[in-house]
Structure 1
Amino acid sequence: MGSMFNSLVGLIILALDIWAIINVYKSDREVGVKVLWILLIALLPVVGLVIWAIAGPRGTGRL
């Protein structure tokens, strides 16, 4: 039971990280800023996601 719960939490964090990276990519910020945010989210998945949610660049809303 614990293993399945941990796997589910891991998948949710992965999905949220991918969503955050896509939003950073679609933002209007400079390339260097985007790279730093993506590295932060990728290297520190939980902490980077929380920091991005508080202070990160947002996407433009266009696909």
Structure 2
Amino acid sequence: MTLTFIQNIGGGFLIIMLLFSLIYFLLWVYCVIDVIRSNFKDQNMKLIWIVILLFAHIIGPLVYLVLGKNTKVGY
């Protein structure tokens, strides 16, 4: 069943999905590294951001990029 589905997908769509997945994975890795290296106003925020990034895979990195900068020291 799955093999038939994959055979019916066009090559262009498959390449676009692979590129999107790679870009999203790199964004996720960037966010995790940024959380680990950063100093936060409250030290518990580091643990909270790691948990958010691990368990909210779809929106976690986007939420961190929007809201995470305000919780760091120096911003």
| TM-score category (smaller protein) | 0.7 to 0.9
Give 1:1-63 correspondences, 5 Å limit: 1-29=12-40, 30=43, 32-57=44-69, 58=72
Distance 1:24 1:52, change over 3 A: same
Residue 43 (structure 1) shift: 2.1
**Hey, which bits of structure 1, 4+ residues long, moved more than 3 A?**
57-60
How large is the RMSD of aligned CA atoms in angstroms? 2.0
Task: Specify every segment of 5 or more residues in structure 1 that has no aligned partner in the other structure, as ranges.
Answer: none
| TM-score (normalizing by structure 1) | 0.75
Query: Rg larger in 1 or in 2?
Result: 2
Deviations 1:1-32 (A, max 9, x none): 211211110110010110011111111121x3
Of structures 1 and 2, the one with the larger relative CO (CA 8 A, separation 6+) is 1
Task: Specify every segment of 5 or more residues in structure 2 that has no aligned partner in the other structure, as ranges.
Answer: 1-11
Q: Counterpart of 2:58 in 1: which secondary structure?
A: helix
Between the two proteins, the alignment pairs up a number of residues equal to 59
